[in-house]
């Protein structure tokens, strides 16, 4: 495949690049260019350093088109390329031969013709001795000292001869625009007109080449130069002598030419005047207008046949002597070749020759640009073109040449023999298709993906790849011309064309023969083949991706494959009707059923899946359903990894929905290790553990061939470098699920690690992902959109607010979060329990009631936070002291992430204050805390402020303070930090948000410390919900009526968490 | 009619083009009867040349390539369009039969005699001169320079394509284009916009047409360093007596090295 080579001068090096940004493509380009060999056997790029430069270059460089946003102006982009030092640049350009490069599959930009000519101009000047000592200002490195300046000696072209100056100007004017595309030109002349910049850049280039070549010759002069050197003494000798000595040095050492601004400035003036000033274009701008020039543009158009033959000869067009006058069908189509003047600096200016000849003045002004001697310029261009193209010479046989009629044979000859040479001379040739705005026809390849290869979905051959993204998909390739299919024979015919204009299917079209030959080569090798699903997805979405060097224009697929490629979740509509396992002890809501079927499909296809439903939608039950569904075919246990605070939750959920699944919780000091662990795994269906322990017990974890791995709160591994992320990646399984409630659509760039777990390699390397998808700007937005589509097949996210989901949701979703006690809490809890049971046997009546109530209160407080029980540690790590607080923070992180609001109820003012303190430290902004002690005025202000969206979206309230009249519908989450075991009281609190005006579904979270009285009382309430008022009563006094045994059963600490 | 047998040397005939015509001053006479008299001056009237002048203009209009060559290279490009003989300049219908006689009849001599021998002498002298002078001088005799002739042809072309309002037509065609030149109100160049336009038109990498007009000459050059150039550097470095010599050495060595490169280059490129 041809590699492009572009080159721009950056003041000290020729920066060569391809315009590509994809890391892979730049690497391939670098490798190809380094091998480039020129006469006489040199490899100029072999040791060239890699370099980054900011260049104004279009994004869609592949087809030379500018994107819509780039029409207004090209912004600088950082491009990677090779920096060719002066020595290699000089050698390369003197030996430059476009044909030689093309034979090595390197397609050089037109600017290389320019640089090559400039190099030869430098050589000619040196041949004739037209060079001069010179000086140029230099940027001072390090700390700038005011009043100081720096300069550098340099050999420069001497352009005092008028002819030399004229040629210099002509060359500068001919400089291709790309040469000015560097954001920092490094020439010190980065202002002013285009011509000014061109001249500055050319002068800098010539000086560099001359300076190098001159100094190279010093070695041959040897001691002959000694007498020429000055006996410079710092502080005594004039600065000019220092400059002179530096001029006579090899140039390897850095310049010492520094001094006061005035002195250096005067030195520059003296030297410049002695050697001659570099030309500038100051005298070229009359009245502030810039100067323009024309190039010749030839336009080819089909000529309609005329009824009257005589009319054909009249006017300006003159047919060639033996041209037929009437078209006798497509093969006899006549063509008109007309002449136009196209603006060099402003290509939009396009004037027909007739207008130029008929214009009464020599000069024209168009769009504030002066065009001088327009007729003479056009005449000159035509005469030069006439030397190349005989048909143009024929057209110049009479006054005011405007056009000529060609018959088909002449057209062929013109196209095949003259057009290419004309273009090299700077003549634009417009083909008929360009005039009709269709442009050059593009020949490309379309792929028809035929489906999964090797036996259909989940094909179970021995060699089948373990993960679905690596499964092979077979395809057929087809050549297309724009969108129309091209047969192999037609492709062969087109590739054999010697001209870029061909008659095809009855119409003339312009083609790129090189492109066609590449496509033909591809079709010969790859008419059918296979590729992985990963490659297919990238091909369909990623412009930088190609198949063996050929960009793919279109991909067709059917069925599920087509829906997966669509990248918009449309495949959800086509999900198979996998039945919900009958063993599931519960009913899935409709959207949960869909989620289950999607997970089942992902497993069938071997794809890792990211379930990212909004919190409260029941991700857990969907995952449990799919694990249950796969239970009988599972070859080994499934592993669920979650934060410590959620262990309890999972246990509860399994117990509730799939009690038949054998669950082992790998946690705590008595967990199994080594062989015992491995044996244990065989006996259980599900192993539940934490992120921490996947790291600590990595050795045994890695030994197990898990049938599924589920990561709950998968954002825990978003940082790839962390130990927990690394250990999770090393686990072995063919089926993977990640769960998260965080809004992934806002965090796409953080997804790499999660996707690397789910479908390794799908999103490329971490480095390339970061360079492509992190950052900002319009280009990044476009890349992120591609990323969205790439991950779409593997991501399912529904929001509570989706109309489809909302209708399936109850107005109030009740969720219980089971938390663990910390070691400190457990110790305190046990102490209180022991204390109570010890003393209760010896107390009765009111004393007993008081003892029970005070102990129960203490236990509840301990479950909240040890600080409420009166203990204080030196450490201020309050969060680590309470499992409930940890869980609350996790919940609130999600709520804050989703930009929602929550009310947090607690019975204890002290807990409320502690919550205020913790939450303001974590989220900034102190949440309101409403309790009985708050005056009405303040209360009203708080409520008003909260409802108006002012201040923190979190509001702490004591349960009793949530009296009537409060309207807090801004919140859609209610968290009961601790329980008031009368549902009516809790409901009343909940109703603060669940009132008229509430637009969203409300989630009610109840935090329950597992293994404690909280859990047991909750169970009691659940069992007797309908009778709860009778059983529980309006207060907690019913607890004091329990027997010692019942009491003990209620409060004893249970479970190993 | 016979012409004078005398053939005056070119250097002895003085020619001057005036508003009236071509003034020919004959050399001093050796014939005794005329010795001591003033040199004879013959005037060949302008009308002799007007037709030729117009003919040249008319002809050149039909040959745009030659016109271009005239503009680029000078009068030699149209040498073939100029009559071979001076007498062919006067080519009206009547004169064609005997152009010499027609010229004799039309010329005036300072001796006052119509059709005198001086006129024939003058005509012979001019004929010889016409053959010897450059095309540029011939053009001059016809009242043209290369530049004025080119302009005259272009003006004739313009006259053949009259436009009622050339400016309006230019605006109409050029005015179809949107957006102004790449300048802000302060006149600063907006390089980014200009580059974007170049990309859009597929010109980003294309050199201007002038690139192919620039001729580089790498043939062997004789290096000549002017003394005044060296002196200028000596003046700048009065404390460096060897500066001029050093500069001269460097230029010479550079020239030699450049010659080696050019030789290799010449060998490669035809």
What digits encode the pLDDT tens for the residues A283-324? 445 555 677 889 999 998 888 765 444 333 333 444 444 333
Contact A120 B265 (CB under 8 A): yes
The verdict on A680 and A791 lying in the same domain is: yes
Q: Is A997 helix (H, G, I), strand (E, B) or coil?
A: coil
Torsion, Cα of A881, A882, A887, A893 (10° steps): -50
Where b means 16+ CB within 10 Å and e means fewer, A559-592 reads ebbebbbebeeebeeebeebebbeebeeebbebb
My answer on whether A832 and A801 are in the same domain is no
State whether B204 and A121 contact (CB < 8 Å).
Answer: no
Q: pLDDT tens for residues A874-921?
A: 444 555 689 999 999 989 998 998 889 999 999 889 999 999 999 999
B208 and A295 within 8 Å at the Cβ level: the answer is yes
Q: Judge whether residue A328 has pLDDT over 50.
A: no
What is the predicted ipTM?
A: 0.80
Strand partners, A815: A1005
Tell me what pLDDT residue A319 has: 42
Quote the distance between the C-alpha of residue A444 and its chain's center: 26
Which pair of tokens denotes residue A164? 């030399």
Looking at residue A585, what is its pLDDT?
92
CATH number where A594 lies:
3.40.50.10810
**Which backbone phi and psi does A330 adopt, to 5 degrees?**
-55, -40
Domain limits at A143? 110-179+191-284
Band of pLDDT at residue A627, cut at 50, 70 and 90: very high
The arithmetic mean of pLDDT across residues B210-220, rounded, is 87
Residue A987, pLDDT above cutoff 50: yes
- Distances in Å between the Cα of A672 and the Cα atoms of A665, A684, A702, A704 are 10, 13, 14, 14
- On whether residue A435 sits in a domain, the answer given is no
Most confident of A503-512, A723-732, A931-940, B152-161: B152-161
Higher pLDDT, A284 or B214: B214
**Same structural domain for residues A344 and A244?**
no
* Model pLDDT, residue B69: 95
Across the interface, do B221 and A213 touch by the CB < 8 Å criterion?
A: no
Query: What total number of domains does chain A contain?
Result: 6
**Under 8 Å between Cβ of A376 and B154:** yes
Cα dihedral sign, A867-A872-A878-A881: negative
Q: Mark yes or no for CB contact B255/A128 under 8 Å.
A: yes
Residues A633 and A718 in one domain: yes
Among A846-855, B189-198, B211-220, where is mean pLDDT lowest? B189-198
From A176, A190, A352, A510, select the one nearest B201 (Cα to Cα): A176
Q: Which of A518-527, A1038-1047, A1048-1057, B216-225 has the highest mean pLDDT?
A: A518-527
A493 lies in the same domain as A626: no
Asked if A666 contacts A648 with a C-beta cutoff of 8 angstroms, the reply is no
A178 close contact with B: CB closer than 8 A: yes
Give the residue from chain A lying closest to B186, CA to CA.
Answer: A288
CB neighbour class for A729 (10 Å; exposed up to 12, middle 13-18, buried from 19)? middle
For A657-673, b/e burial (b = at least 16 CB within 10 A) is: bbeebebbbbbeeebbe
* Partner residue opposite B232 with nearest CB, options A175, A274, A399: A274
Quickly state the pLDDT bin for A401 (edges 50, 70, 90): very high
At residue A801, the pLDDT reads 78
Per-residue confidence (pLDDT) for residue A214, from 0 to 100:
96
Q: Is residue A52 part of a domain?
A: yes
Which residue intervals of B107-242 are DSSP H helices?
A: 117-132, 135-141, 146-160, 166-174, 191-200, 227-236
Q: Which H/E stretch holds residue B25?
A: strand B21-25
- Mark whether A747 and A627 lie in a shared domain: yes
CA of B209 to nearest chain A CA: how many angstroms apart?
5
A426 closest CB neighbour out of B157, B208, B236:
B208
Same domain, A229 and A360: no
Provide the β-strand partners of residue A840.
none
Average pLDDT of the segment spanning A844-860: 87
CB contact under 8 A, A358 and B161: yes
Q: Using a CB-CB distance cutoff of 8 angstroms, which residues of chain A are in contact with residue B262? A: 123-124, 127
Q: Give the helix/strand (H/E) hosting A434.
A: helix A432-435
Residues A720 and A858 occupy one common structural domain: no
Per-residue pLDDT, A13: 93
pLDDT at A276: 80
**Each residue of A654-677: pLDDT tens digit?**
998 999 999 999 988 888 888 889
Question: Domain check: are A280 and A299 in the same one?
Answer: no
Asked whether residue A449 is domain-assigned, the answer is yes
| Residues A128, A73 share a domain | no
Choose, out of A131, A375, A384, A437, the residue to mutate when testing the contact with B (most B CBs < 10 Å): A375
Contact, A915 vs A955, CB < 8 A?
A: no
- Whether A707 maps to a domain, the answer reads yes
Fill in the DSSP letter of residue A828.
Answer: H
Band (A777; pLDDT cuts 50, 70, 90): low
Q: Are residues A799 and A651 in the same domain?
A: yes
pLDDT in tens, A336-347: 999 999 998 888
Distance from the Cα of A360 to chain B's closest Cα (Å) equals 6
Classified as helix, coil or strand, A1013 is helix
Mean pLDDT of A185-197: 71
| Res. A355: pLDDT tops 90 | yes
Which alpha helices (DSSP H) does A774-822 contain, by range?
778-791, 803-806
Give the number of A-B residue pairs with CB atoms closer than 8 Å.
313
B237/A241 Cβ within 8 A:
yes
The answer to whether B240 contacts A230, with C-beta atoms less than 8 Å apart, is yes
What is the residue-averaged pLDDT of chain A?
82
Q: How far is B134 from chain A (nearest CA, A)?
A: 24
Instruction: Enumerate the residues of chain A whose CB falls inside 8 A of the CB of residue B208.
Output: 173-176, 293, 295, 344, 426
Within-domain flag for A1057: no
**Cα(A515)–Cα(A349) distance, integer angstroms:** 30
Facing B250 at nearest CB: one of A124, A191, A214: A214
B66, B160, B207, B234: best mutation site toward chain A, by most A Cβ within 10 Å? B207
pLDDT in tens, A28-70: 899 999 999 987 788 999 999 999 898 988 865 443 344 444 4
Locate A456 and state its tokens: 């259909």
Answer whether residue B205 shows pLDDT above 60. yes
Order of strands across the sheet with A3-9? A49-56, A76-85, A13-17, A3-9, A106-108
Task: Say whether pLDDT at A436 is over 80.
Answer: no
How confident is residue A455, by pLDDT bands cut at 50, 70 and 90? very low
Output A1032 or B169, whichever has higher pLDDT.
B169
Note whether A207 and A136 are within 8 A (CB): yes
CA distance A408 to chain B (A): 25
- Residue that is last in its domain, among A430, A454, A484: A430
Let me know: does A337 contact A395? Beta carbons within 8 Å: yes
Query: Which DSSP symbol is given to B81?
Result: G
Residue A899 and residue A1027 in one domain: yes
């Amino acid at each position: 495949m041809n590699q492009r080579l572009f080159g721009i001068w950056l003041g000290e090096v020729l920066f060569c690049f391809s315009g590509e940004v994809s890391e892979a493509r730049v690497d391939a380009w670098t490798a190809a260019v380094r091998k480039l060999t020129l006469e006489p056997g040199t490899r100029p790029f072999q040791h060239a350093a890699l370099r980054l430069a900011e260049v104004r270059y279009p994004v869609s460089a592949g087809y030379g088109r500018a994107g819509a946003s780039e029409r207004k102006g090209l912004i600088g982009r950082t491009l990677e390329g090779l920096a060719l030092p002066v020595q290699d640049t000089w050698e390369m350009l003197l030996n430059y031969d476009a044909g030689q490069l093309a034979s090595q599959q390197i397609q050089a930009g037109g600017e290389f013709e320019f640089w090559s000519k400039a190099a030869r101009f430098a050589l000619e000047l040196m041949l004739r001795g037209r060079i001069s000592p010179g000086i140029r200002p230099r940027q001072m490195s390090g700390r700038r000292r005011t009043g100081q300046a720096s300069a550098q000696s340099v050999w420069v072209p001497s352009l005092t001869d008028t002819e030399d100056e004229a040629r210099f100007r002509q060359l500068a004017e001919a400089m291709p625009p790309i040469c000015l595309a560097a954001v920092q030109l490094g020439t010190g002349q980065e202002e002013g007109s285009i011509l000014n910049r061109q001249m500055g850049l050319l002068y800098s280039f010539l000086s560099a080449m001359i300076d190098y070549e001159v100094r190279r010759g010093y070695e041959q002069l040897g001691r002959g130069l000694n007498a020429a050197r000055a006996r410079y003494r710092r502080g005594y000798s004039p600065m000019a002598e220092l400059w002179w000595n530096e001029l006579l040095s090899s140039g390897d050492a850095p310049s010492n030419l520094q001094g006061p601004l005035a002195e250096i400035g005067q030195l520059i003036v003296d030297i410049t005047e002695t050697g001659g000033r570099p030309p500038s274009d100051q005298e070229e701008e009359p009245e502030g207008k810039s100067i323009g020039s024309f190039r010749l543009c030839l336009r080819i158009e089909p000529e309609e046949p005329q009824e009257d033959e005589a009319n054909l000869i009249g006017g300006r067009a003159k047919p060639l002597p033996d041209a037929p006058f009437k078209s006798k069908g497509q093969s006899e189509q006549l063509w008109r070749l007309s002449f136009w003047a196209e603006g060099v600096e402003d290509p939009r200016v396009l004037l027909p020759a007739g207008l130029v000849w008929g214009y009464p003045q020599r000069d024209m002004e168009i769009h504030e640009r002066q065009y001088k001697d327009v007729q003479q310029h056009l005449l000159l261009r035509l005469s030069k073109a006439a030397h190349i193209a005989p048909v143009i010479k024929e057209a110049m046989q009479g006054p005011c040449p405007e056009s000529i009629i060609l018959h088909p044979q002449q057209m062929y000859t013109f196209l095949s023999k003259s057009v290419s040479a004309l273009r090299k001379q700077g003549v634009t040739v417009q083909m008929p298709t360009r005039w009709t705005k269709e442009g050059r026809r593009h020949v490309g390849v379309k792929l028809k993906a035929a489906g999964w290869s090797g036996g259909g979905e989940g094909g179970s051959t021995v060699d089948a790849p373990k993960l679905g993204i690596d499964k092979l998909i077979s395809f057929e390739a087809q050549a297309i011309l724009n969108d129309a299919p091209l047969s192999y024979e037609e492709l062969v015919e087109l590739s054999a064309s010697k001209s870029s204009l061909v008659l095809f299917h009855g119409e003339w079209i312009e083609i790129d023969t090189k492109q066609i030959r590449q496509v033909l080569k591809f079709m010969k090798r790859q008419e059918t083949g296979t590729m992985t699903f990963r490659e297919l997805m990238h091909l369909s979405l990623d412009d930088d991706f190609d198949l063996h060097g050929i960009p793919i224009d279109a991909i067709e697929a059917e069925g599920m494959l087509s829906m997966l490629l669509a990248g918009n979740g449309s495949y959800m509509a086509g999900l198979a009707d996998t039945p919900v396992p009958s063993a599931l002890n519960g009913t899935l809501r409709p959207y949960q059923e869909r989620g289950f079927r999607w997970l089942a499909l992902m497993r069938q296809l071997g794809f890792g899946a990211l379930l990212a439903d909004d919190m409260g939608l029941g991700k857990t039950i969907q995952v449990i359903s799919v694990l249950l569904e796969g239970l009988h075919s599972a070859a080994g246990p499934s592993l669920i990894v979650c934060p410590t605070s959620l262990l309890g939750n999972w246990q509860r959920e399994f117990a509730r929905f799939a009690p038949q699944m054998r669950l082992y919780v790998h946690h705590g000091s008595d967990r199994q290790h080594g062989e015992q662990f491995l044996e244990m795994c065989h006996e259980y269906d599900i192993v539940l553990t934490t992120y921490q322990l996947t790291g600590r017990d990595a050795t045994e974890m890695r030994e197990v061939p898990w049938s599924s791995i589920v990561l709950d709160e998968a954002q825990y591994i978003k940082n790839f470098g962390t130990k927990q992320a690394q250990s999770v990646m090393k686990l072995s399984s063919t089926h993977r699920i990640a769960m998260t409630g965080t809004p992934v659509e806002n965090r796409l760039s953080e997804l790499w690690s999660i996707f690397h777990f789910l479908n390794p390699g799908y999103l490329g390397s971490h480095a390339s992902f970061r360079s492509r998808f992190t950052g900002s700007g319009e280009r990044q937005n476009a890349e992120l959109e591609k990323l969205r589509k790439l991950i779409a097949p593997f991501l399912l996210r529904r929001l509570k607010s989706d109309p489809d989901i909302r209708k399936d949701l109850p107005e109030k979703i009740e969720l219980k979060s089971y938390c663990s006690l910390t070691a400190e809490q457990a110790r305190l809890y046990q102490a209180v329990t022991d204390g109570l049971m010890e003393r209760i046997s010896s107390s009765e009546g009111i004393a007993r009631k008081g003892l029970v109530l005070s102990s129960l209160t203490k236990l509840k407080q301990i479950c909240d936070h040890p600080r409420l029980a009166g203990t204080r540690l030196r450490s201020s790590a309050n969060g680590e002291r309470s499992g409930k607080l940890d869980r609350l923070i996790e919940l609130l992180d999600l709520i804050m992430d989703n930009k929602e609001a929550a009310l947090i109820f607690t019975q204890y003012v002290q807990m409320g204050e502690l919550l205020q303190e913790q939450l303001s430290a974590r989220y900034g902004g102190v949440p309101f805390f409403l309790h009985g002690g708050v005056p009405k005025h303040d209360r009203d202000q708080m409520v008003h402020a909260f409802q108006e969206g002012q201040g923190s979206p979190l509001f702490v309230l004591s349960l009793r303070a949530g009296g009537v009249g409060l309207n807090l519908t801004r919140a859609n989450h209610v968290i009961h930090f601790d329980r008031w075991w009368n549902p009516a009281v809790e409901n009343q609190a909940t109703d603060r948000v669940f009132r008229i005006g509430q637009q969203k579904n409300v989630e009610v979270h109840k935090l329950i410390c597992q293994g404690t009285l909280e859990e047991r009382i909750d169970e009691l309430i659940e069992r007797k919900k309908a009778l709860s008022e009778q059983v529980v009563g309006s207060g907690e006094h019913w607890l004091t009526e329990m027997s010692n045994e019942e009491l003990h059963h209620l409060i004893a600490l249970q479970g190993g968490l | 009619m016979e012409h004078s047998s005398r053939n005056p040397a070119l250097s002895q005939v003085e020619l001057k083009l005036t508003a009236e015509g071509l003034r020919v001053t004959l050399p001093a006479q050796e014939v005794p009867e005329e010795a001591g008299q003033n040199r004879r001056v013959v005037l060949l009237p302008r009308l002799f040349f007007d037709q030729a002048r117009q003919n040249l203009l008319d002809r050149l209009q039909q040959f745009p390539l030659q016109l271009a060559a005239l503009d680029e290279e000078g009068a030699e490009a149209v040498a073939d369009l100029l009559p071979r003989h001076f007498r062919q300049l006067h080519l009206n219908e009547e004169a064609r039969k005997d152009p010499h006689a027609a010229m004799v009849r039309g010329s005036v001599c300072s001796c006052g005699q119509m059709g005198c021998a001086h006129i024939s002498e003058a005509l012979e002298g001019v004929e010889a001169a016409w053959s010897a002078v450059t095309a540029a001088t011939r053009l001059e005799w016809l009242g043209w320079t290369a530049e004025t002739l080119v302009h005259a042809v272009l003006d004739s072309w313009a006259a053949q394509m009259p436009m009622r309002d050339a400016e309006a037509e230019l605006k109409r065609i050029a005015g179809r284009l949107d957006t102004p030149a790449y300048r802000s109100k302060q006149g600063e160049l907006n390089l980014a916009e200009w580059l974007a336009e170049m990309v859009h038109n597929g010109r980003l990498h294309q050199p201007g047409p002038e690139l192919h007009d620039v001729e580089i000459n790498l043939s062997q050059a004789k290096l000549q360093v002017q003394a005044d150039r060296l002196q200028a550097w000596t003046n700048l470095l009065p404390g460096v007596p060897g500066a001029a010599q050093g500069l001269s050495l460097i230029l010479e060595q550079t020239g030699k090295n450049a010659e080696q490169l050019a030789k290799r280059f010449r060998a490669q490129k035809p």
